[in-house]
Amino acid sequence: MNIVFFGSSPFAVPSLKALKTSGHKISCVVTQADRKKGRGLSLGGTAIKMVAEESNLKIYQPERINTSQAISLLEELRPDLFVVIAYGQILSSGILNIPKIFSVNVHASLLPKYRGAAPINWALIKGEKTTGITAIKMAKEMDAGPIILQKEIEVSNDDTAITLEGKLSGMAAQLVLAVLSSLEENDYNLMPQDEDNIGFAPKLKKEDGRIDWNKPAWDIYNLIRGCISWPGAFTYYKGKLLKIYKARVSSQVRKFASSNPGEILEASKEGIVVSTGKGNIIIEELQIEGKRRMKAEEFISGHKISAGDRLGYPAPF
């Protein structure tokens, strides 16, 4: 088949690499325009552009995809199929209707759950025990088309947004090849999504990472692992922003004097024990404003932390 691949995020890289070795023709790779990156603000391309360049594939990087110019260029390629994975722009009907077969999107959730830009993050934040990958025939409404194939995976309590993305990106590549095989053999069904069980996963905002210490320890733990890449779970300590990168829920029943949510109960080389709305959480890796990320033991040695100190927002109690 003659395929045009749309992708930008590193999540889409395994799928593009799988397509390269599948025997299908990739007539063009569409990815986001170069953006300024790093402290020097030099222009840099997407992860997908780098892979396409290494493979000498045709690359198209429009600032806006839904223009007459883009439609004309894509029509000239006479594609059988569009494969869209973490591209970053919404495609209009004028674009989606170009392929001879249709346009396929691979999404990192068990649709209709977690439609939107951040399905992996929100699945973790919400404490899901399972998630997965879904391939759909694309429709004008975002992530709403009928399901072609779906694959489920268990979410480990140790998974973060980083580790889970790695697992799901590999699954996505396998699913893409399975979809292509089913389309070639005309052996597939289009199953409508269950409109009664739709869930959304909007792009995370910085404020989404703020820790509410009144919530149960498990909710806070899920927030930390779901926000690890962006925006980072944060609170405040003595008026300074404090990001928390690694923690665990205390499995021990410890007898502390009555405490308030956000109160530090104990600080040792094992971590900083903090009271929550239900249970305690142990902070293991963190970063105070203006400093680098460090283990709790190192942080404690450089700060005068004692039981009774409070973590909170926007300033200490």
Q: In the listed set 197, 221, 247, which residue is the last one of a domain according to the structure?
A: 197
Single-letter residue type at 162: I
Model confidence at 317: pLDDT above 70: no
Domain shared by 229 and 164, yes or no = no
What percentage of the chain carries pLDDT values higher than 90? 90
Q: How far apart are CA 153 and CA 134, in angstroms?
A: 11
Model confidence at 213: pLDDT above 70: yes
In-domain check, residue 102: yes
In the chain the first and final C-alpha atoms are separated, in Å, by 63
Domain shared by 172 and 247, yes or no = no
Domain shared by 47 and 183, yes or no = yes
Q: Please name which of 231, 211, 205, 208 lies closest in space to residue 281, comparing C-alpha atoms.
A: 211
Predicted TM-score of the model (pTM): 0.94
Domain shared by 246 and 211, yes or no = yes
Domain shared by 168 and 49, yes or no = yes
Residue pair 232/207 in contact (Cβ under 8 Å)? The answer is no
In-domain check, residue 295: yes
Q: Please name which of 145, 148, 71, 104 lies closest in space to residue 1, comparing C-alpha atoms.
A: 104
Model confidence at 255: pLDDT above 70: no
Domain shared by 173 and 303, yes or no = no
Domain shared by 145 and 221, yes or no = no
Q: What angle do CA 228, 214, 204 make, to 5 degrees?
A: 30
CATH classification at residue 148: 3.40.50.170
